[in-house]
């Protein structure tokens, strides 16, 4: 089967969020089990299932296993997830039987803040927990996902406010302060393997575990990524230029989004 015409792809227009969602979807492989959150992670997972990974098993925190929504769910409690699932189990079973023993291949997480070791904050902004500048929605199932999934992908828009030297509060542990911390804390999952942003992709250095810019989206420079990072971002010697969305990827993503807009 022939791939998309490069000339046609280069003429397409797409948003930074679409590029980020497509890049995240490409990390998912057919047959994997994926713990999905709402928002960009859900869009990426459903896009993967609609394109290159039809056998991807989507698991939502509400207890649905093997959900196959034809449109993006509005929340983890959206009825379309239960209606299309292979099974619906209790929330304790999702966590105690599926997640904590390491039975889920990959988890997708968002973040309000993330630091150079992949630690995530979704709890408070500001150093005083009792009187923060901003109180965020909180942890939900994210700490367990970060601890126990075999690998984790973080999807977050990049800015110096969200990419900080050290998070104000560690909601979900990445690599702590560096090598050895996950083992010391007894965390069984491998930890975050990629941070996918609206500019490119970061991956942990194999020695220091500090996140390094390894890939850039079309038209984005390493300098632009460094400007939107709150630490001295390390850049790979030869960052990959990641291909933009194909016509098939854009069509599938927009179809999922149109269904939600028009029908719900």
Give the span between the Cα atoms of 79 and 89, in whole angstroms: 14
Calpha distance 71→171 (Å, rounded):
30
The whole-angstrom separation of Cα 263 and Cα 140 is 28
* SS3 track for 161-181: CCECCCCCCCCECCCCCCCCH
Please tell me the total number of residues recorded for the chain in this structure.
Answer: 264
61 is catalytic: yes
How would you class 237 by CB atoms within 10 Å of its CB: exposed for 0-12, middle for 13-18, buried for 19 or more? Answer: exposed
Q: Which two tokens mark 132?
A: 């923060």
Mapping DSSP onto H, E and C, the string for 118-141 reads: CCEECCEECCCCCCCCEECCCCCC
> Which H helix or E strand runs over 125?
strand 124-125
Q: How far apart are the first and last CA of the chain?
A: 35
Q: Which residues contact 177 (CB under 8 A, 6 or more apart)?
A: 117
Task: Kindly state the helix (H) or strand (E) to which residue 84 belongs, with its residue range.
Answer: helix 79-84
Q: Which of 18, 61, 144, 249 is catalytic?
A: 61
DSSP 146-161: HHHSSEEEEE----TT
77 three-class SS: coil
Q: Please give the structure tokens belonging to residue 241.
A: 């230029």
| Catalytic center residues | 61
């Amino acid at each position: 089967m022939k791939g998309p015409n490069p000339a046609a792809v280069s003429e397409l227009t797409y948003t930074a969020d679409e590029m980020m969602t497509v890049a995240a979807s490409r990390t998912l492989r057919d047959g994997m089990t994926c713990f999905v959150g709402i928002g960009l992670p859900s869009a990426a997972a459903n896009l993967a299932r609609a394109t290159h990974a039809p056998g991807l098993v989507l698991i939502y925190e509400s207890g649905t296993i093997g959900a196959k929504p034809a449109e993006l769910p509005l929340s983890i409690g959206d009825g379309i997830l239960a209606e299309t699932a292979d099974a619906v189990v209790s929330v304790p079973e999702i966590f105690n039987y599926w997640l904590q023993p390491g039975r889920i291949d990959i988890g997708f997480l968002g973040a309000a803040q993330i630091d150079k070791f992949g630690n995530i904050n979704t709890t408070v902004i500001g150093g005083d927990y009792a009187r923060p500048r901003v109180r965020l929605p909180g942890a939900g199932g994210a700490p367990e996902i970060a601890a126990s999934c075999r690998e984790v992908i973080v999807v977050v828009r990049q800015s110096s406010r969200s990419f900080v030297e050290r998070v104000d509060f560690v909601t979900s542990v990445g690599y702590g302060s560096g090598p050895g911390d996950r083992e010391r804390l007894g965390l069984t999952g491998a930890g975050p393997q990629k941070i996918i942003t609206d500019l490119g992709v970061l991956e942990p250095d194999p020695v220091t575990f500090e996140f390094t810019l390894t890939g850039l989206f079309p038209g984005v420079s390493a300098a632009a990524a460094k400007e939107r990072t709150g630490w001295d971002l390390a850049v790979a010697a030869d960052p990959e230029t990641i291909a933009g969305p194909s016509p098939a990827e854009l069509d599938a993503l927009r179809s999922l989004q149109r269904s939600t807009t028009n029908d719900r």
